[in-house]
Every structure is written in C-alpha cells, then in structure tokens.
Amino acid sequence: MKAGVLNFPDRRESPTIDQVGVEERAKRFCARSIKKGTKMSALKLAVTMLDVTTLEGADSVGKVRQMCQKAMQPLPGDPSVGPAAAVCVYPRMVKTAAKAVEGSSVLVASVATQFPSGQMRLKERLAEVRYAVGEGADEIDMVISRGQFLQGEYRAIFDEVAACKEACGGAHLKVILETGELTTYDNVRWASDIAIAAGADFIKTSTGKVPIAATLPVTLVMLQAIEDHYDRTGKMVGMKPAGGISNAKLAIQYLVMVREVLGEKWLTNKWFRFGASSLTNDLLMQIRKQETGRYQSGDYFTKD
Amino acid sequence: MAKTEPGPHNFVFGNYAPAPESKDHFKIKKSYDLFIGGKWVKASKKFETINPATGEVIAKVGEAGKKEVGQAVKAARKAFEGEWGQLSGAERGKYLFRIARLIQERSRELAVVESMDGGKPIRESRDVDIPLVAAHFFYHAGWADKLDYAFPGVKPKPLGVVGQVIPWNFPLLMAAWKIAPALACGNTVVLKPAETTPLTALKLAEIFEDAGLPPGTVNIVTGAGETGQALIEHPDVDKVAFTGSTAVGKAIRRAIAGTDKKFTLELGGKAANIVFEDAPINEAVEGILNGIFFNQGHVCCAGSRLFVQESIADKVIKKLKKRMETLIVGDPLDKNTDIGAINSAEQLERIKALVKAGEREGACIWQPEGRLPRKGNWFKPTLFTECAQSHRIVQEEIFGPVLAIQTFRTPQEALEKANNTPYGLSGGVWTDKGSKIFKMTTGLKAGVVWANTFNKFDPTSPFGGYKESGIGREGGVHGLAAYLNF
Amino acid sequence: MTIKKTYKLFIGGKFPRTESGRVLDVRGKDGELLANASWASRKDFREAVVAARKASGGWGKASAYLKGQILYRIAEMLEGRRAQFVVELVAHGISEERAEKDVSEAINLLVHYAGWSDKYQALFSSANPVASSHFNFSVPEPTGVVGIIAPRRGSLPELVSALAPVIVGGNSAIVLAGENALTAITFAEVLSTSDVPAGVVNILTGKRAELIPEFAKHMDVNAVLLCSNDKDEKKLLDLESAENLKRVSHQKDAPLKESPYHILDFQEIKTTWHPIGV
C-alpha cells in the first residue's frame, strides 16, 4: 500500500525529446556484441523475465493450464532454465491460472480496466480490478484512457491511475500507456511521468492489440522517465516492453539498454519484464545453441 | 495464494565478454613500397607503422625522399596530360563508381586495418568511416560529367597536378575527401598519408590497381614531415590541399607564398557546444558525449568546449558523468569498445601535458573509475568543470577525449564566448525553440553548425572553417571549386 | 526445342497478365512469331496507378544516396544482361551493332542519372534572402505519381531516358512502353532484380490511342510525360489533364537528352519560413 500524498507532476520536469537523437541512441545499443558467457547469462535472465501471455477471445481453461505449465517449466528436463516471472490472462481466467501455478514462484498478472481500449466509465473499470484481485491476481495490467490523454485531460489520467492503484490493494499495478496510440515520444514521456507520479509500480508500453507495439526507442524514453524519478526520489519503478519482441537477439538488446541506462539493479524480474508469447521458444533455442553449438529446430521445443 | 520465492540465479551482466572482430579473412603485407605511376616502387628508406593499442609493429612502409616525390609528381603530370586528362567526364565518373563499389565490397577489411593502424574503435571505422569513404567516391563519381552545371555561367577545367597531405585521425576518410573530388574534376593526385597511419591509403592504392585506374592518376608517397614538405614545395604541383594542425597550415601558407599554387587548408578547431535549458536534454547529453569522445576526441570539429545554461548545469553534468561511466575503453578491435587507443605516444604526451595544465590553472578534473589496459596508448574520457575562458584547456586544441565545461546565462553571452577564439570550424546548439536555433546559427562564426545534433558528415554537405580553422570547403557543390580552374 | 518466354505486364513488382486476356502479336523480321505480349487495358492501368501510389510514399522519402545506389544497380544489372537484349533486338531486325550501341547508351543514361540523385537538390534549392528576420529556404520535392508515354519506337535508350529522371527525383511511374514491347518487359526483369521497391516502376505494353486518354484522365496521377510529335495526342492530354491540373511535360517522340531539367519537371518547390530570434 502506498502511503503519503500523490502530487500531479510538473510538466516542466518532462524534457522534450528529439526523435532523431533518441532513435540514434537506441540504435547504438544494437551495435553491442553480446557473446559467450554474457550471452548465456542474458538468455537465461530473459527467460526469468517473461510474462507469458494469452489474451484471446478463444482462451479456454485448457489453454491457460497448458500455458501455465510452460511458464513453470519452460525447458522440460532442465530446471536451470526459468521459471518465467508470471502468466498474464484475462480476469475470467485468473482463478484457473492461480490454481495451475500454485506452489511455484510464478505470479499471476491480469489485465483489467476494459483492456485493451479502456473505453468505459471508471466505475466499471475499477470493479474489474477488484474482481481480478479477488480471483487471485498478484498483478494488474491496466490501460490508460488514450482518448482523454490526446484531448489534453491529463488530470483524468493521473486520477484513474491513482484510483486503480487503490483498487489493487496489495497487488502490483502495471500501467499500459499504449505508446502506439500516443504516437510521439514527447507524449510517451509525459504519460510515463503522470503514471509514475500517480503510483504505478510498473510502466508498460503496449496491449499488443494495435499494430505498433514496443520499440527500443520508446522503451528508452520510458527508462529515462524511470531514471529521472529515481534520481529525484530514490524510488524504483519497473518497466515492461510488450509486443513485437519476437526473438532472443532483440530481447538481449533490451537488456543491454536497461543495463546501460538504469544499471544492474534493474536487471531482475522484480523491475523488468518482457510481455511476449513467441519469444519464449526463441530464447530456449538460443540457450540450447549456446550449450551445444548447433542451430536448433522448432520441432524440439514444446508449443503450448 | 502460496508462492515460493524465485530460485537464486546468478545472471549478472558484469563486463561484456570479449567480442573481437575477426582478422583472418584478408592479408596485410609485411612491407609496402611507394605507389608511383601505377607501380610499386621501392623507397631507399623504410619506417615502421605501429598498432597503438598493443605497441606491435604491423608493417614497414617506404619513406619517400625528395627524389621519389619528384618521380610521383612527374607520373601525375604524365597521366594528366595523357590517359586521365583525355578521358571524358562520364568515363572518369565510371572509374570512380568502380572504385566506390570496390570500397563497399572490401569495407570490412578496410575497417579492421584502419582500427589496427590508428586505434579507433572498430564500431566507428565499420559504421562511420568506411561507409562515408564509399559515399564520397559515389557522390563525386556523379559530378565528373556534370561540372558545367555546378557553377552558373562557367565551364570549368581541371587544375592539373594536386599535392595532398592528410592527417591520422580519419586516415582513409581524409584520403577520400581529397582524392574523390580531385579526380572527379579531372586532376591527378600525389597523396601523402600521415606517418602513423599509412596502411589504408596503401590498401586504397591496391583498389586503384584493381579498378584499372590509369597509371599515375593517383600516386601514394608515404613518409613523414619532410616528405610532405617536398610535395608541397614541388614546383610542378598546381594545387595543394592540407588537413592538419593550424601551425603546420600556416607554415604551408608561407611556403607557397609568391607561387601561383592554389590551396585549401582544413585545420584545427575548438568548437563550442551550447546547451540551453529548453534543449531535449537526454539527446543533448548524447550529443555532448559524441561531440568530444567520438574517435577519442581526435576530431578537428570536436565539441571540446561545453557551454551549458547555468539553470541546468548540475543536471547536465550529472547525466554526463553517469553516461561516461558506461563508456568502454579498450581494444579497438573489440566490437563493444567505445573509446579506442590514442593514436601515438606523442599525442598521448600532448594530452597529458594540457590536462596537467588544466589542473594547475585551477579547473576541476573528473574521470570515471576503472583501470586502463597496461600496454599501448590510452586516456580516460575526462571532463573539467570550473573552467575559465583564459585556461589553456579552453583556448588550445587538445585533440583528445577531454571536455572543458563553462556555464552561461544569456544567448548573447553564449555567442560571445563561443566566438571568442581564433578558431572557427564548427559549433553546436541545443534548444527546442526554432527561432533560437537560427539566431544562434546565424551568429556563430563557424563553418559547420549543428543544431540538436553533432558530428554529422555527408559528402553532399560542405565542410570547412572560418578564421584560423582553415580556408576553403570540402564536400558538396562548394567543395568542387577548389579543384577547378574557372 | 527451346522454352519460349511469356511476356507479361510489370505491375507492383510482379508480372501479371492483362486482365483483358488480349495479346499483341509480335513478329520477327521474317514474319515468325516472337511472342504474344500482353495488350494492357484501362483496368490494368488502374491497378498500376494503385501500385504506383502505394510505392510513392516510401520512394519519395528514400534518401538521395539510396536512390542513386539503386539506379546504379539497375545499370549494373543491365550490363549483365547485355547479350539477352542484343539477341532480342536482333530478332526484331535491328543490326547487332545498333543493338550493342542501344544497350551502352541506356547504361550510360542510368549511370548519369544515378549521379544526379544527390546533386539536383543543390542546383534547384535556394536560401532566399527575404527582407524580414526569417530563415527562408526553397527545396524540391517529388510530385508523386507520374505517367510516362515513352517514345513510340520503343528503343531501350528512349525508354530509359524518359524513365530515369522521373524516378531519380523520387516519383513513382507508370510507363506505356513503345512499340518494342519485348525490350520493355525484358527491361522490367532488370528492374525487378535491382532492389527497386515494388510499384516504383510499372510497365504496360499496349496501344497509345487506347491508353493515352486514361493516363490523361486519371485523378490520382499527378503528372504526365508525353513523348509525341502528334498534335492530337498532345491536345488530348492537355484538355483531359486539366480536371486535376496535372503537371504536363511535352517532349519530342525521340530519346530525351541528358539533363537535370527533366528531373525538375517533376518536382514541386516548397518554401519554408522560420523566424530568427530568441
């Protein structure tokens, strides 16, 4: 529970962002060459940072149970790999997921607040949060109202995040900004600062339901917001890029960026997560390749 | 619900594992001769070129004396009056396109040799230097048959034989900046690379051979100061081009006084990087960093003076220091190295001397923690605060990874202090306000001004300085003028 | 028994047949059938405009360096296929000497215009010294989608001399090839192996009388280059293009001379003002 007064942030503390400059800086992380021992560490670390996700209309109890199995034991027969950090499901599937991962360290995250659009009254959205927490969710991934943000109603964003945090009770709150709809880096930075000031435990890029999801530069902007907040207050906030991270190489580039911008302290699943589904098997294949020296085939890894 | 704690995992990044660039797909000869008249000619003397990161000798190269320089000029004159001079612009262009393609094809080899010979990180030679080298040849190839359009009312002709002396900080790139426009305009060339970095120019000569460039069109005479002097002073050289220190530039100017020789000089600088409080601050910090630590600060247009608005000075300096702590100083051939070796022992001594002077004069030095490699020439990225306009580290070009920081309060003050130098090569302005950008850029007395960016180069963009930073421009339409007879 | 090539249209980076099912009977110098080329219809033209428009955004924003590299690559690929072109031209009754010359000319044109990609801007831009305290500059920008009616005879130099300045300026193009349909489509094969993004160049083989009105009338074509000595063709283009004020360039029915002004014909000039002051 967060004690103390929440203050609406001073916009002058949110720096303006030069698109060309920030994209150049992000690109430079891709030039880092991560090999051998560093690479193996990074791959295994990445597995422990996965929020293994299924958010489909077609999700069923069986599907969720299988996914939870995979999250607990990503590589059958090799307990040194994983488990994943969490599973992420719709509120209706929380109970199933919670039962399936019971006894393990895997957390249950639930989307809520009328994911993915957020287009509903606050009252109902908060009720959804309380329902999911009641069903057993350890973490809530909420969405902000992008329409209101683009209308300039920044206070409303601050208020809805604060209200969700309160409704979470003891659960952790991840705030999805939906950066693909905010479109400019300046907007992403401002939204990040608002969410952090309003009590977010994590800020997250995307729902994965619109064409443009996480990118390195957008993540960099959000990491900078977290960095400045930490410099000012000493408080850490977590970050989760979601969507579009489909291969291990890209995932490692994100880890390099977190390390060089925030520091080693953030390189745990307490402060950094990947929202991904197909990333899992690529990480596992790369781990095998590092161990055996052979490029792998998808046939040897479970598709759950 | 019952939850266990995650198991202990020792996934610590620490330092990145070595990621060395491979060297086994090409050859460097043990000994190189001079490239004159399309042939490899033995010099009477030889000297060694050394890898500044390890101290090892890479190869021996010839030292051209007055006689060999004379032979080279003669070969260039013969080619100018003969085979090269008689080609149409379109045909000249095709040779340059072919050379550009060969450079593209061999780019990895050239990047590795450049890093070995000069000390710059492979990431920079691979991602910046060599691509620009190819681009310069491509750009100028296209001009060869279009010169009648370049200057209204004028149908220009070539000058003749061009003598060019280049520095060690961007060895192959400086060779490209000089050779490409000279050839495009129909001239022939005698080029002397810097004595600490002769290898990529010699590799370029191999590329000229493979491209079938008519013999004598480009001649490479390796050597030191005396070789350069012999070239500059040779009576049959029609034009002289020099990039290097202001002191030597002035000596060259005096040496050719009274002759008809045309000349261009691209000399030193002490650029001011001006950061306003309304700048995009994180990108500005990157820009400051790139401005002075790119290529170990061995850059004539380096942003070696930072002027930061007082209201954000603490914040900027704090971010700068944090960023500097993540810079990796190390083996130039490791792909993760950010800052490579200092080019020579002499240059390292010069940097150390000026840094000592800075401390003695009362400026406050800061360097990140960590140890430097024991063998080779190394210097940590360094910044000085509490600098005064009169400090040597603020007035003199250090040509190393050393940043001198001063604060300012008003745009007028920043402009005055930025311009208060005999140099005038480049400058930087960081602000979100468009009108302020143009107010500053129109006020800065510098040949290249970067707004909200730094150290950007392109063959289409003219480069050169005001005042003692040199005379003339290289690149773009403006750069052609130096190689043409109007 | 050789396997004869089928000559189709070139639209959106692919080689579709005409939707009309019609063919152009192409005969050799001895009357033998060389090929049944596609006889393009107005619907094919419509599809080509869609492809060109789709490609025009990306191509218009591509760097000058990239465009130059691609044009140079086309020249390289054409050089590589020299023999193929010569054989086809000879089958038409053109002398081998003339055929070799045509290929060389076309290559030279491509190299020449590749070299303009990053230079015409310097020639045609200006920083304007306005009287007020403003930074004022004018730069050329590509017009967009350009229709090209290539010279009637259809030689390779005629085709390339009309096409190269249009695309090096950042426009995408729909070309109505001259009567030498086979050369045009073989040239399309060169384009498709040269890193030219799909849709930047589209080539139709067909009848001028049928298609020139379509080029002239289409509301999503920004400009037309007509190579013609025919008064009626020219008047028709001027009249019908008025509806959306297409930029029209009239050239003789002959190879265009090398000139940056052919690039300028398909550029719009944009002037920007910005205050200077704190």
Residues B32-49 have pLDDT tens digits of 999 999 999 999 999 999
Q: Quote the CA–CA distance of A130 and A143 in Å, as a whole number.
A: 15
What is the CATH classification number for the domain harbouring B445?
3.40.309.10
Q: Are B349 and B438 in the same domain? A: yes
Judging contacts by C-beta atoms under 8 Å, the chain B residues touching residue A20 are: 452-453
- What are C48's two structure tokens? 């080509």
pLDDT of residue B9: 56
**What is the sign, positive or negative, of the torsion defined by CA atoms of B277, B282, B286, B289?**
positive
Nearest to B344 by CA among B168, B213, B225: B168
- Tens digit of pLDDT for each residue in C192-201? 999 999 999 9
Candidates B12, B281, B335; nearest CB to A15: B281
> Is A39 noted as a catalytic residue in this protein?
no
Q: What average pLDDT does the structure give for chain C?
A: 96
Chain-chain contact of B13 with A259 (C-beta, under 8 angstroms):
yes
Cβ distance of C277 and B435 shorter than 8 Å: yes
Specify whether B247 is located in the same domain as B319.
no
CATH of the domain at B97: 3.40.605.10
pLDDT digits (tens, 9 = 90+) for A53-107: 999 999 999 999 999 999 999 988 888 898 999 999 999 999 999 999 999 999 9
Residues sharing a CB contact under 8 Å with residue B146, sequence separation 6 or more, in sequence order:
B89, C115, C116, C119, C260
Q: C176 pLDDT band (50/70/90 cuts)?
A: very high
In a domain, C15, yes or no: no
Own/partner pairs for A169-172, CB < 8 Å, 24+ apart? A169/A1, A169/A133, A170/A1, A171/A133, A171/A137, A171/A138, A171/A139, A171/A140, A172/A138, A172/A139, A172/A140, A172/A201, A172/A202
B278 to each of B281, B426, B429, C167, how far by Cα in Å? 8, 22, 11, 41
Cβ atoms of residues B245 and B266 within 8 Å: no
| B256 and B355 co-located in one domain | no
Backbone angles phi, psi at A201, to 5 degrees: -85, -30
Residue of B13, B280, B336 lying closest to A33 (CB–CB): B336
Q: Tell how strand C172-176 and strand B31-32 pair up.
A: unpaired
pLDDT for position B4:
65
Burial (CB < 10 A; 0-12, 13-18, 19+), residue B254, is exposed
* Helix (H) or strand (E) run with residue A216 in it: helix A216-233
- Interface residues of B toward A, Cβ cutoff 8 Å, are 1-7, 9-14, 16-19, 123, 127, 278-283, 286-287, 318, 326, 335-336, 432, 452-453
Instruction: Give the Cα separation of B414 and B444 in Å (integer).
Output: 10
> pLDDT under 50 in chain B at which residues?
1
Which two three-digit tokens encode residue B124? 């920079």
Structure tokens at A14: 């949110």
CATH of the domain at C115: 3.40.605.10
Token digits of residue A241: 């890029």
Domain-embedded: residue C80: yes
Both B238 and B323 in one domain: the answer is: no
Q: Is the pLDDT of residue A2 over 80?
A: no
Chains with 3+ CB–CB pairs under 8 A to A are B
Name the active-site residue from A39, A70, A165, A204.
Answer: A204
What is d(CA B70, CA B235) in angstroms, rounded to the nearest whole number? 10
What three-state secondary structure class fits C197?
coil
C107-127 b/e (C-beta count within 10 Å ≥ 16 → b): bbbbbbbbbbbbbbbbbbeee
pLDDT at A234 over 80: yes
The answer to whether B390 touches B357, Cβ cutoff 8 Å, is: no
- In whole angstroms, what is the distance from residue A146 CA to residue A178 CA? 8
pLDDT of residue B6: 61
A141 labelled catalytic: yes
C86 within some domain: yes
Which pLDDT score, from 0 to 100, does residue B263 have?
97
- pLDDT of res. B1: 46
| Cβ atoms B467, B134 nearer than 8 A | no
Strand ranges (E), chain A: 50-53, 86-89, 107-111, 139-143, 172-176, 202-204, 238-240, 274-276
Q: Residues, chain B, total?
A: 486
Q: Which residues contact B173 (CB under 8 A, 6 or more apart)?
A: B129, B132, B133, B136
Preceding peptide of B401 cis, ω within 30°: no
* pLDDT tier for residue C27 given thresholds of 50, 70 and 90: confident
Residues B429 and B478 grouped into a single domain: no
Average pLDDT value over all residues in chain A: 95
The answer as to whether C183 is a domain residue is: yes
What are the Cα distances from residue A78, in Å, to A28, A286, A288, B32? 34, 14, 11, 56
The domain tally of chain C equals 1
Asked if the Cβ–Cβ distance from B9 to A18 is below 8 Å, we say no
Looking at residue C45, what DSSP letter applies? H
- Whether residue A130 is predicted with pLDDT greater than 90 in this model: the reply is yes
pLDDT digits (tens, 9 = 90+) for C45-95: 999 999 999 999 999 999 999 999 999 999 999 999 999 999 999 988 899
- Judged by CB atoms closer than 8 Å, whether chains meet at C274 and B143 is answered as no
Contacts B–C by Cβ distance under 8 A: 65
A99 classed as catalytic: no
pLDDT value, residue B5? 64
Q: What is the pLDDT of residue B8?
A: 53
- Note whether B211 and B291 are same-domain residues: no
Strand partners, A88: A53, A109
Range of the domain at C50: 23-275
Contact B90 C112 (CB under 8 A): yes
Q: How far apart are CA B155 and CA B485, in angstroms?
A: 9
Q: In the block, which residue shows the tokens 């090929």? A: C35
Nearest CA in chain A to B338: A32
Nearest CA in chain C to B94: C111
Per-residue pLDDT, A253: 97
With respect to residue B2, please indicate whether it lies within any of the assigned structural domains: no
Q: Residue holding tokens 């910090």?
A: B285
Residues B111, B178 within the same domain: yes
Partner residue facing A37 (CB), from B17, B282, B318: B17
Amino acid letter, residue A290: Q
B232 & B249 share domain: yes
Please give the share of chain C, as a percent, with pLDDT higher than 90: 90
Count other C-beta atoms under 10 Å from residue A167's C-beta.
Answer: 22
Q: How far is B315 from chain C (nearest CA, A)?
A: 23
Whether residues B254 and B332 fall in one domain: no
Backbone angles phi and psi of C123, in degrees to 5: -75, -40
- pLDDT band of residue A277 (cuts 50, 70, 90) is confident
User: Quick check: is C256 in a domain?
Assistant: yes
CA B28 → CA B107, B117, B220, C58, distances in Å? Answer: 15, 11, 17, 42
- Which residues of B fall within a CB distance of 8 Å from C114? 142
Helices (H), B151-224: 171-184, 199-210
Find the CB nearest B9 among A22, A25, A44. A44
Catalytic option among B21, B185, B300, B474: B300
Q: What is the CA radius of gyration of chain B?
A: 23
Whether residue C5 is contained in a domain is answered as no
Is B278 found in the same domain as B262?
no
Residue B4 lies inside a defined structural domain of this protein? no
Is residue B9 a part of any domain in this protein? no
Q: Is residue C3 part of a domain?
A: no
Short-list B400, B366, B146, B363, CA closest to B270: B400
Q: Among the options B68, B114, B266, B468, which is catalytic? A: B266
Give partners of B (≥3 CB pairs < 8 A): A, C
β-bridge partners, B474: B463
Q: Is C6 domain-assigned?
A: no
- From CA B385, how far away is CA C57, in angstroms rounded? 48
- Average pLDDT for C25-45: 92
Same domain, B314 and B206: no
CB contact under 8 A, A33 and B11: no
Taking an 8 Å cut-off on Cβ atoms, the answer to whether A36 and B17 are in contact is: yes
Q: A219 to each of A87, A226, A239, B288, C58, how far by Cα in Å? A: 21, 11, 8, 22, 25
CA distance B300 to chain C (A): 26
Q: Would you say residue B95 lies in a domain? A: yes
Q: Mark whether B210 and B357 lie in a shared domain.
A: no
Domain count, chain B: 2
Which position has the token pair 């090539």? C5
| B39-41 vs B34-36, strand pairing mode | antiparallel
Q: Provide, as residue numbers in chain A, all residues whose Cβ is less than 8 Å from the Cβ of B433.
A: none
Q: In which domain, by residue range, is B203 found?
A: 18-267+469-485
